[in-house]
Structure 1
Amino acid sequence: MMKKLNTILTAVAALLCASAAAHADDLTFTLKNGTNSVLTRFYTSPVGVNEWEDDVFGEQVLEPGESIEITIADGRTVCRYDMRFEFEEGSDLDTTEDRQDLCKLGSYTIHE
């Protein structure tokens, strides 16, 4: 009886670990620049975190009409992220912020 109980507990533990790992997967989506301005900086931060994390683009920019695949590999198990978009100097566009469930999002287009 004890051996059977240990087998069941081991199976349950494995299922729980697999479930937790599935939620910690990297979030991947396509970001499209649907504006007429160069997108120079893109920041994300989980909802409830009061500071922006590093610029996702680094040295890159996203030209008007271009797309890029974004991967957020922060190891968190959250889906709702705040996003901040900054455009080139001299652009007619102001910094824009939005909040999305990135687990459900396959692509996101920033518009003017």
Structure 2
Amino acid sequence: MRRRLFLVAFAAASVFGSTGAFAQAQQNFSLINRTGFQINEVYVSPSASNSWGRDILGDGVMPSGTRRNITFPQRTRACMFDLRIVYEDGDRSEAREINLCEVSNVTLTFTGRATRFSYD
């Protein structure tokens, strides 16, 4: 019975596309670096987590003026995430409680002495 219910739910999702609860689980976003500085590390973790997890840039970096698409496994259901940026000089900036189910772009700028996170 459970298997049949799962198949019905899967078929409904295929027919109706990304609507309702299925659309709410879409956390993919673009990270845009307009800070004027190179970013060496990026961490994205669910707000409920006590761990940052791994650096999603791996061995790569994000020079200023670049965009990086951040994707999540489809099984991810959380919407609220925290973001940590580590610059080339080791300085860090963090944003908390970003609703990635409603945000497509996170743009980083540097004003004065602080990183500004903008969402759209």
Q: Same fold (TM over 0.5)?
A: yes
CA distance in 2, matches of 1:69, 1:52: 18
Q: Output the TM-score relative to the length of structure 2.
A: 0.69
Structure 1 outlier segments of 4+, above 4 Å: 10-13, 16-19, 23-26
CA distance in 2, matches of 1:24, 1:75: 12
Runs (5+) with no aligned partner, structure 1: 1-5
Structure 1 or 2: larger strand share? 2
List per-residue Cα deviations over 1:86-111 (Å, max 9, x = no partner): 0002x7xx300002111111111112
List per-residue Cα deviations over 1:26-57 (Å, max 9, x = no partner): 63111100101101100011011101111110
Identity %: 27
The range that moved more, 10-19 or 22-31, is 10-19
What is the aligned residue count? 101
Higher RCO, 1 vs 2 (CA within 8 Å, ≥6 residues apart): 1
Gap change, CA 1:39 and 1:76, over 3 Å in 2: same
Larger gyration radius, structure 1 or structure 2: 1
Match of 1:54 in 2: 54
Gap change, CA 1:74 and 1:14, over 3 Å in 2: closer
